[in-house]
Amino acid sequence: MRANAGEHDRAAYIEDLILIAEDELRETDYVVHPSDIEESWDHLARAQVNAAIAHVEAVREQTVAIREQTEVIERAIREQTAAIREQTAAIYRTRNVVPSAAAGTSSYER
């Protein structure tokens, strides 16, 4: 019977240790569970992926805007070049000057 009493004392001692450990855990501010850590990493990873996607989309939108601006500028340059050519031709006509294509100069018609 004494052996059973010793085992009982040991079991009671272990139970006391468990209760003390549980009390200490309750007293701590926060105990991080592994699933909480995994969930936090998943949340962080999703946030990073979403941020990268948003950045890529912003770059695409900027690229489209730049292409549109480039087309507008190129069109304006073509129109201005054509207008300058027309003005130059009109000036030559009013002065009776025929541009010399070979020399890049002009000569007066007489």
* 73: in domain: yes
Domain that holds residue 28: 10-96
Rounded Cα–Cα distance for residues 1 and 105 (Å): 128
Confidence of residue 110 (pLDDT cuts 50, 70, 90): very low
pTM for this predicted structure: 0.47
Task: Report the mean per-residue pLDDT for the chain.
Answer: 82
What is the per-residue pLDDT across 63-80, written as a single tens digit (0 to 9) for each? 999 999 999 999 999 999
Q: pLDDT value at position 99?
A: 62
Q: Assign residue 32 a region: left if phi > 0, alpha if psi is -120 to 50, beta otherwise? A: beta
Pair 108, 97: CB distance under 8 Å: yes
* 72: in domain: yes
* 105: in domain: no
Rounded Cα–Cα distance for residues 8 and 1 (Å): 10
* 69: in domain: yes
Tokens of 95: 């002065």
Query: Residue 108: is its pLDDT beyond 80?
Result: no
* 5: in domain: no
Q: pLDDT value at position 1?
A: 44
* 32: in domain: yes
What is the per-residue pLDDT across 11-59, written as a single tens digit (0 to 9) for each? 888 888 888 887 777 776 566 677 877 888 888 888 999 999 999 999 9
Split into its structural domains, the chain has a count of 1
* 1: in domain: no
* 107: in domain: no
